[in-house]
Amino acid sequence: MLVLGGYGGWQAYQHWPLTAGVPQRAIARRARDLHGHTSSINAVAISPDGQLLASASADKTIRLWELATGAKRDILKGHTSFVNDLAISQDGRALISASADTTIRIWDLTTGEEIQSLTGHTAAVDRLEISPDGQTLVSVGADFTIRCWNLQTGQLEHTLVGHESSINAIAISPDGKILASAGADRSTRLWDLRTGQLQQTLVGHESFINAIVISPDGKTLATGSADTTLKLWDLATGAEIQTLSGHSGFINDLAISPDGQWLASASADKTIRLWQLPDGSASEVLTQHTNFVNHLAFSLDGQTLFSSSADKTIRLWQLQTGDLQQTLQGYEQPIDEFTISPDGRYVATGSNDRTVRVWPL
């Protein structure tokens, strides 16, 4: 890491612009470091209006920050173990947190007051998802169950039981009718989100499934596995469309561009692959990372792909050409989580080094 100087709360880190994969010069890219957590950062989330950043930590707390200035807004205390995930309601009024203490807590994002504690899981709550209509909260537990809650009342609506081991990923269809879940039992299950009934079980992968994503038109489900393959499925029928091969390591994450034309896969083989949809034809292989690629996200305009890696960097790729646009670096530990602000002006990251960092783009 090259620290070039700091001013006004910002620290300047290396930012490499590249042409044809060759770094030309180092430019000071200012990143704001937000300090206060005393353990690793497990999740970060930005409010829909882009004003607030929330960070969740293994120190059992959630911290609220002003995204643009980095000013501390609040510390939310109440969980008695690691806070594993965060979600923010579509109206920006409620923050939801999931914890290893087996509870889900709902907080007033304006006042920082706890509104409600949701109980029912019998082991750590690992991840959260909110339905497209904003009415249903979905939680995934280490108890191998999925629970669906009415987000307005906090009432438990359904408990989905069927997976035989850890559930690693969930996705909700754009129309909010289908919940897909996948995990270590090598199966993907499709549930009716309204009734909680299991519709189909999709099998075919030879090892655990780490990632699933549904296309914006709701027609295609993609799954990524430790068997190094991706599979495309017809979401309506459950039929397997195609198996996509090329990676030589675990598939860690998947993302589909907002226009539904591109599927990106991140792998432990240090590469990202781009596939054209709906046929799954291979396009580009992005090779600049030097360690596992962990997470992916597309910009809202679909022009840029963001990737984070165990090589301690976030890289920004131009989707149409596959060219590396920017490399954000400065961490001394792998970047575990990142999120992009709604206006595309900031990337917020979290790491095991206990630091939340905000990068202006």
Q: List the single range of 14-18, 126-130, 316-320, 356-360 with lowest mean pLDDT.
A: 14-18
Query: SS3 string of the chain?
Result: CCCCEEECCEEEEEECCEECCEECCCEEEEEEEECCCCCCEEEEEECCCCCEEEEEECCCCEEEEECCCCCEEEEECCCCCCEEEEEECCCCCEEEEEECCCCEEEEECCCCCEEEEECCCCCCEEEEEECCCCCEEEEEECCCEEEEEECCCCCEEEEEECCCCCEEEEEECCCCCEEEEEECCCCEEEEECCCCCEEEEECCCCCCEEEEEECCCCCEEEEEECCCCEEEEECCCCCEEEEECCCCCCEEEEEECCCCCEEEEEECCCCEEEEECCCCEEEEEECCCCCCEEEEEECCCCCEEEEEECCCEEEEEECCCCCEEEEEECCCCCEEEEEECCCCCEEEEEECCCCEEEEEC
- Kindly state the average pLDDT of the residues 264-276: 98
Position 346: which residue type?
Answer: Y
User: Mean pLDDT across the chain, nearest whole number?
Assistant: 92
pLDDT tens per residue, range 64-102: 999 999 999 999 999 999 999 999 999 999 999 999 999
- Kindly state the average pLDDT of the residues 126-134: 98
- Is residue 27 pLDDT above 50, yes or no? no
Angstrom distance (rounded) from CA 95 to CA 117: 12
Is residue 278 reached through a cis peptide bond, with omega within 30 degrees of 0 on the bond before it?
Answer: yes
CB 353 within 8 A of CB 330: no
Q: List the single range of 30-44, 132-146, 173-187 with lowest mean pLDDT.
A: 30-44
In the prediction, which pLDDT does 336 show? Answer: 78
Measured in residues, the chain has a length of 361
In the prediction, which pLDDT does 6 show? Answer: 31
Expressed in angstroms, the distance from the first to the final Cα of the chain is 19
Tokens of 27: 């430019």
pLDDT tens per residue, range 284-341: 999 999 999 999 999 999 999 999 999 999 999 999 899 999 999 988 888 879 999 9
In the prediction, which pLDDT does 12 show? Answer: 40
- Is residue 7 pLDDT above 50, yes or no? no
pLDDT tens per residue, range 152-163: 999 999 999 999
Main-chain dihedrals φ then ψ at residue 247, nearest 5 degrees: -70, 155
Complete edge-to-edge strand list for the sheet that includes strand 178-183: 167-172, 178-183, 188-192, 198-202
In the prediction, which pLDDT does 3 show? Answer: 26
In the prediction, which pLDDT does 25 show? Answer: 32
% residues pLDDT > 70 (the chain)? 92
Tokens of 320: 């149409």
- pLDDT band for 8, please (50, 70, 90 cuts): very low
- pLDDT band for 125, please (50, 70, 90 cuts): very high
- Kindly state the average pLDDT of the residues 30-42: 92
- pLDDT band for 30, please (50, 70, 90 cuts): low
- Kindly state the average pLDDT of the residues 200-226: 98
In the prediction, which pLDDT does 29 show? Answer: 55
Tokens of 116: 């409600």
**Higher-confidence residue: 186 or 10?**
186
